[in-house]
A and B are shown apart, each in its own frame.
Chain A
Amino acid sequence: MRQPKIIIVGGGLAGLMAAIKVAEAGVTADLFSIVPVKRSHSVCAQGGINAAKNLKGEGDSTWKHFDDTIYGGDFLANQPLVKGMCEAAPAIIDLLDRMGVMFNRTPEGLLDFRRFGGTLYHRTAFAGATTGQQLLYALDEQVRRFEAEDKVKKFEGWTFLSAVLDHAGVCRGICAMDLKTMEIKTFACDAAIFCTGGIGAVFGRSTNSVVCTGSAQSALFQQGAYYANGEFIQVHPTAIPGEDKLRLMSESARGEGGRVWVPKTPQDPRPARQIPETERFYFLEEWYPKYGNLVPRDVATRAIHKVVYEMKLGLAGDPAVYLDVTHIPREVLERKLEGILEIYQKFVGVDPHVEPMKVFPAMHYTMGGLWVDNENQATNIPGVYAAGECEYQYHGANRLGANSLVSCIYGGGIAGTAAVRYARSLESGCENTSPAVYERERVRQQDISDALLNQHTGTENPLAIWREMGDVMTENVTVIRYNAAMQKTMAKLDELSERFKRINLQDRTQWSNQTLNFVRELGNMLILAQVITLGAIARNETRGAHYKPEFPDRDDRNWLKTTIASWDAGKIKLDYEAVDISLLPLRERKYTAAK
């Protein structure tokens, strides 16, 4: 039997899990990553990972986890795979536990669980406040073990440029660039799995890492892959504003009892500690008595916007509210939240054990992503699979906290297994693909780099274009969306795309040219920004994270459907697909009372 070849692009949680499944099936995986995989963005996940193990005697169940996830996502997710994920979650926790993840423990030595947003149950396993880091390291170690056995081969410091598609449109390999030598090469494979993460950089500043540009997804989109529900962007309610990054302050701060408030008096000049209880407005607790500070992220984010911009109650008139953990015993904070409190202390220089933290919402996560089927994480391009944040499957119109890590591991596992099955079923593998197919793609990509390097008359600075794109996307296509403002955003994106053609690279060397790589990513980001904005303009309703004051209600009759964007001769085309609601009936989503 021929040995299939599998390539995985992206070495975060989803990519590593896919690699483990491929290696376990006896197939060698080539793993490509821009950064050493241990530095992937999954390290930034803080609060935890959901699994209904019901270890607190609350009567939790995987069905309730499923119901919370669908309800939290405002019924936009296809239901069967979400159910599968929730059912698999307890075993995923066990697996991670066996891999040595240092989860917090109860006195009996069992796993401890905390509460998170959008649920009334203690369902979130956690390792301090750096759960993503701990999970990523566990999978990284397993992959390193396979690497030592020559079952995984890593290509760290390579960036994906495009898929190699044969005359029938079947994926037969990838084209990638070595970020040190800037060499562009093709690599043959029978199936490629994309686990390329988030798209935060499309919004300029976000909670995402530098590599989360969405460039790979956009490149695949421009080669014919469908992009689904792009307009659904999660804005996390609590982040520390910064000029380089908006640093996440995890939901676990509220899960452990943290409270969000503002002074009742506008522009109250007193320091937080001197404001008595009776003069504090705990608006989430007041407006959502059942869920309190643990309403889902879209609900909390809109509440903060209302308090700051409509009620003018922002701290000292600034766009910020207090996230207060000062009433929680120091010992609890040290054991459960130290990682994130340390971030606040280091970047703001104020001790959050003593002073309430000042936070504001920030772009955090894309629910939308590459379209995949309902079974195998397969995209519409034969041989191309996707898992993790880069695909759209699990979170509907809004993701619940602590569901991202579980969706990465579940989806990555499915993709790895499915890609092996597909590769083994091929009658003719990539070894029979003509070298001309690979050479054509390599030349196409080399030409793009050469054109950028040889353009000497450019006047536009790439970082300036990036910042302008991020500003206009953040202003008009995040928390509150108006069609007129988004039409202007499209015009601005057109203008930036024109200016992009006159970019000045500033660095024309052929050795670790980070500017060249960034500019190539920026070109792809500009396309993705248009996909997101067009999807948002079209969807005239309010659902989950997508909020349009002009259309304030969910409109199931017209909009209970998945947006599918495709690239049609250089233009973005929107189509729609029915949502699979075969398991849970539709109902109104409201967090003012229990479901």
Chain B
Amino acid sequence: MADKTFIVKIKRQQRPDEAVRWEEYELRYRPHMNVIICLRDIAEKPFTRSGSESTPVSYEANCLEEICGACAMIVNGKPRQACTALVDDLEKPIRLEPLTKFPLIRDLQVDRSSMFENLKRTKCWIPIDGTYDLGPGPRMSPETQEVGYALSQCITCGNCLEICPKVNEHSNFVGAAIVSQVRLFNMHPTGAMHAGPRLEALMGPGGIEDCDNAQNCVKVCPKGIPLTESLAAVNGQVLVHAVKSFFRGS
């Protein structure tokens, strides 16, 4: 009996300045396959469905268990992590495209360094005095920890930016992931002492006001982070901060 096969279509581009082409591959089906296994199959036999020789597909991947954030791409029209995109659950042919809101490097690989830059710009860290032994950190209730832990699982995959209508060539909206991180650091007892500069970084163009509440972000977050709650919470903090700053005359 012939092996069961299925088709994967991939949007390919060898360099940012080169032409886009779609390639089709016919792969041998095995149980429990995911999109990563598809891409490895292609690397082992880089021939398209019509038999012409191609090259292995470039893509980012590392942990393969949806915790490093690397392998985000558009699978059948939806931004998601490739490692948890199981072939059994996907409509065929499977279509793979790179994220579109970030500069393309090659094939399915994009440059998401802007997200890390925005974490820097919004001062998403707890400013500690030093790594010397200064005793334990502040006490925290289990309830606060549970909220914080949910937020701190953000893997910086960029799916929430990809789906956001306000992240486009006309707007520099930092996106839900960054806003949610600001919420995380502002709720930590030490981080709260330095909330002001984080909120100020979210005022003005590209800041929280750019969010128009489309609520798509929360639907594509692979970690189930309550992003819309974060957007609302930080929006409130920014308004209060702006009012306070106004009365302080700064």
Contact = CB atoms under 8 A, between A and B. Distances in A.
Interface of A: 20-21, 24, 35-36, 38-41, 43-44, 91, 94-95, 97-100, 102-111, 127-128, 130, 133-134, 137-138, 141-142, 144-145, 147-148, 156, 180, 209-211, 242-245, 247-248, 335, 339, 343, 346-349, 413, 461, 463-464, 506-507, 509, 511-512, 514-515
Given A156-B113, A335-B146, A41 B44 contact: no
Contacts, number: 182
A-B pairs with the 7 shortest C-beta distances? Answer: A97-B137, A109-B139, A141-B125, A100-B126, A98-B137, A102-B149, A507-B55
Contacts of B36: 244
B133 interface: yes
Interface stretch (B104-112, B165-173, B204-212): B104-112
18 contacts: A20-B131, A35-B62, A35-B68, A39-B156, A41-B63, A43-B67, A99-B128, A105-B145, A109-B139, A130-B153, A210-B63, A244-B36, A244-B40, A247-B64, A348-B32, A507-B55, A511-B15, A512-B58
Contact of B56 (A98, A209, A507): A507
Contacts of B136: 94, 97-98, 111
Given A243-B32, A244-B36, A515-B43, 19 more contacts: A21-B131, A38-B156, A39-B69, A40-B62, A43-B68, A94-B135, A95-B133, A99-B126, A99-B137, A104-B145, A104-B149, A105-B140, A109-B141, A128-B149, A243-B33, A343-B65, A349-B88, A514-B56, A514-B58
Contacts of A98: 126, 128, 134, 136-137, 190
Contacts of A144: 116, 119-120, 124-125
B77 interface: no
- Interface size class on chain B is 35 or more
B131 A95 contact: yes
B62 A41 contact: yes
Contacts of B69: 38-39
A20 B128 CA distance: 12
A94 B137 contact: yes
Contacts of B105: 180, 512
Nearest to B41: A463
Interface of B: 14-15, 30, 32-34, 36-37, 40, 43-46, 55-56, 58, 60-70, 83-84, 86, 88, 105-106, 109, 112-113, 116, 119-120, 123-128, 130-131, 133-137, 139-142, 145-146, 148-149, 152-153, 155-156, 185, 188, 190-191
Contacts of A104: 142, 145, 149
A321 B45 CA distance: 35
Given A35-B62, A106-B142, A141-B125, A133 B153 contact: yes
B145 A103 contact: yes
Contacts of A147: 120
A283 B191 CA distance: 48
Contacts of B61: 210
B185 to A, nearest CB: 7
A326 B243 CA distance: 52
A141 B145 CA distance: 18
